Amino acid sequence: MKIHSAFLLSCFSTLTVLSLNAQQSPSLLAGVQIERGIEFLAAGRKERADLYLPTNTLAGEPHPAVVIIHGGGWSGGRRDAEREQNIGTNLALQGYVGMSIDYVLASKTHATWPQNLYDCKTAVRWLRKNAERLRIDPNRIGVIGGSAGGHLAAMVTLTTPTDGLDPKEPYGEFSCRVSCGVDLYGIADLTAYHDASMLGNTLADAPELYHLASPVTYVRSNSPPMLIIHGTADNTVSVKQSELFAGVLQKAGANYQLIIIPGAPHTFDLQPKQRDLRPVVLGFFDKFLKSVKLP
């Protein structure tokens, strides 16, 4: 992907004011409004979402939107962790509506697949249902996630209604499809990983289940564009997962980009010390959400 100097200039003139850390709340930054604790799932569900809304935009201009999915091994993590705040704020400053979500979490005795994926897809539907209030273009929705969230983001991006992984409700009248996805150091092939509590079975006992829960299974030539980012110092999810993912996408003739960051560990946001990723990630979303509509 080519990133032009004009984009870099506009991006950094807006974003140089941003330096998120544990002592700075994104709600204090100019240009971003945050709505916390939004109910977006079926009645009775405890999981919530936070919305990151741009304020410095032209009246009446529809925004593209991005669902943000946290990591945590499918059994932990939260929507308002530092990484998710960093991503949501950067997106809002660039004119996107960011929706950082919770989803049902697994335990050693509680399998959650495919409900965790259903929750992520329901967030996409919720954005379409509330497009008018939020001034969203319902045809320009993407997704991003890190680690387990990267896996779920890839599943949201690549699966279609024919794969049988769309929830029936709520908001069944709205599509779950997205225009593009960003996978930050996620698991692409669960059959080459290890046992996952979310599946409720071991890999040895249920290899087909692991296959069906893997993003690589759903790659097609016309899959929405994927951006994959991984660090070489990742001791939790091997960089080989992303290299394998890229190989499958390349073989299928799909639209993708793989970025390997030397020395980067498992968990990072859009501003790791090894490399500022804002031009790459925001440039990717600009290319596929601000100028291209869902087929």
Res. 291 pLDDT band, cuts 50 70 90: confident
- Amino acid residing at 176: C
Res. 131 pLDDT band, cuts 50 70 90: very high
As a whole number of angstroms, the distance between CA 127 and CA 147 comes to 23
- Cβ neighbours of residue 5 under 8 Å, at least 6 residues apart? none
In this predicted model, what pLDDT tens digit does every residue of 206-240 receive, in sequence order?
A: 999 999 999 999 999 999 999 999 999 999 999 99
Domains of the chain: 30-289 (3.40.50.1820)
Res. 20 pLDDT band, cuts 50 70 90: very low
Nearest CA-CA partner of 116 in 75, 169, 161, 82: 75
